[in-house]
Amino acid sequence: MTTKHSTNFSVDPVVGWVVIVKGLVYGTAFSLVNGANTIGRSDCRINLNFGA
Q: Does 42 reside within a domain?
A: yes
Q: Does 37 reside within a domain?
A: yes
User: pLDDT band for position 3 (50/70/90)?
Assistant: low
How far is 6 from 2, CA to CA, in rounded Å?
13
Q: Does 9 reside within a domain?
A: no
pTM of the complete model: 0.67
Q: Does 27 reside within a domain?
A: yes
Answer whether 33's CB lies under 8 Å from 18's CB. no
Q: Is the pLDDT of residue 4 over 70?
A: no
Q: Is the pLDDT of residue 12 over 70?
A: yes
Q: For 17-41, write each residue's pLDDT tens digit.
A: 999 999 889 999 999 999 999 999 8
Q: Does 3 reside within a domain?
A: no
Beta-carbon-side half-sphere exposure of residue 4 (alpha carbons within 13 Å)? 1
Range of the domain at 39: 14-47
Which of 1-5, 8-12, 36-40 bottoms out in mean pLDDT, i.e. has the lowest? 1-5
Q: Does 6 reside within a domain?
A: no
